[in-house]
Amino acid sequence: GDQNMEVENRDVEMTDELSPRDVDGSVGVSTPPQKRLAVDSRTITRPKRTSPPAVSLPHVFNQENVEVAVAPQSVSSISPRSSTMSSAAPTPAATMTAPAAAATPAAQTVAPTAAPAPGPPEGVVRTSAAPPRAARQQTVVVHSASANQMRAIVEQAKNNGLPDAGVAQLEKSLMDFISIKDREWSAKYEKMGAIMLERKQEADREFAQMKADKEGLEACVNCLLKAAETTNQDRAFIPSVPNLPPAPVLAAMSADKLAEMTRLKKENEALINENTKLHDQHASSFGVYKMQKEAIGKFHSANAELEEKVRTLRDGYDRLKRHAESKLDEASIENDQLRRDLVRKEKSHDQDTIGIRMRLKKAESEVAELQENLEQKRKQNSELKDICEELIRKADMSTSDVE
């Protein structure tokens, strides 16, 4: 979508040297030149000093390709769909500048060479020693490259006869893309504001330090002058100091300056004591660190010895394991052989047992037959005995008859 932005180009220039009236309103005391910051509408830099290599502000600005419309026909060529798309998902820049665009009817006319310059983020206050000047305002119409490209795609889709549903889907996709780009730009803008705020704070700290150094030098000069006046030394020393205020002014200023120097000395002593304590703490911490380092070294050596012992024991365990495995293999082979021999012997024993049983049955049958024969023989013998006895009796009877 189109974005109307009212840009105020404000160039604030600050003087490079302090005037003689900058300190305590005294006249005639010249101070060494003090470098101040030069603030423009894009970034804050120090004189003769570049930005850190980690973050480059021009690189941040160059990542967002911004094109400026140079003719009023570009504003009138916006389609209703593109305006609807802009109102549906306003970008941060459009939201910030919407009241200015509505209050300025001449926002459609732009300068040929004007470029948008983002203002400082919230929290960054521009200060200047120069008197304020009237702000020069120029109203420009900013068309980002991505917005122009999206508008061209939508127009091409319309010209190709794409249905309204397809155009709406395309517009939704493009709006999502533009929202993502807006979020990226907001993140870059916040990052740039944080960098500018950090640089301004650093500049303020440097300025305060330089001011404190200048006041310290003035206090030292005043002390030297008072010492020269109180000890009635040669007054030729006073004109040797360039652009010094008159003696009454120095006398009036000396008490305050001496009190200030006394306070600074006390603060310096307190800082020295604190520094001594910090050094003592650092020494004790360093001693503890050395003890821990030695203990860690001993632990490492003990760990190495234990690892070597574990490695030796593991090697012995591996040897025992291999020996046991070999013995188990031999025992398994011998067990298999014994099992086969036992099976073979059982088979042969079964065969022998069957033969013995057959012979036993045969012997039993022979014994039974012999017993039958024996019984028959006994019967025959008993019969023969009876016959013989009968014959003998008959013979005896016949013999007795014969007689």
Q: Say how far apart CA 112 and CA 304 lie, in whole Å.
A: 76
Of these ranges, 88-97, 223-232, 287-296, the one predicted with the greatest mean pLDDT is 287-296
Quote the percentage of the chain above a pLDDT of 70.
Answer: 55
| Partners of 4 in the β-ladder | 141
Strand pairing category for 136-144 and 44-45: unpaired
Burial 237-269 (b: 16+ CB within 10 A, else e): ebeeeeebbeeebbeebbeebeeebeeeeeeee
> Which among 31-35, 124-128, 143-147, 179-183 has the top mean pLDDT?
179-183
Residue 253: per-residue pLDDT: 53
> Exposed, middle or buried, 157 (CB in 10 Å: 0-12/13-18/19+)?
middle
**Residue 22: pLDDT above 60?**
no
Q: Model pTM greater than 0.85? A: no
Q: Which residue has the tokens 């031999």?
A: 330
pLDDT band at 65 (very low <50, low <70, confident <90, very high): very low
The number of C-alpha atoms within 13 Å of 144 and in the hemisphere containing its C-beta is 21
**Tokens coding 386:** 């009876």
pLDDT digit string, tens, across residues 122-152: 444 444 444 444 445 555 555 566 667 777 7
The C-alpha atoms of residue 367 and residue 360 are separated, in whole angstroms, by: 10
Per-residue pLDDT at 110: 34
Segment of 27-31, 230-234, 260-264, 373-377 carrying the highest mean pLDDT: 373-377
Query: What are the tens digits of pLDDT across the range 311-367?
Result: 999 999 999 999 999 999 999 999 999 999 999 998 888 888 898 989 899 999 999
What pLDDT is recorded for position 318?
94
Highest-scoring range by mean pLDDT, 35-49, 185-199, 212-226, 230-244: 185-199
In the predicted model, what is the mean pLDDT of residues 195-216? 84
What is the torsion angle, in degrees rounded to the nearest 10, for the CA atoms of residue 94, residue 99, residue 101 and residue 102?
130
pLDDT at site 208: 86
97's tokens: 């500048």
pLDDT surpassing 60 at residue 170? yes
Q: Which of 139-153, 224-238, 276-290, 333-347 has the lowest mean pLDDT?
A: 224-238
Average pLDDT of 234-245? 45
How do residues 246-271 score in pLDDT, each as one tens digit? Answer: 555 545 555 666 677 778 878 888 88
Average pLDDT of the residues in 183-208: 86
Q: Per residue in 80-100, pLDDT tens?
A: 343 333 333 344 334 433 333
132-141, 145-154, 181-190, 203-212: which has the minimum mean pLDDT?
A: 132-141
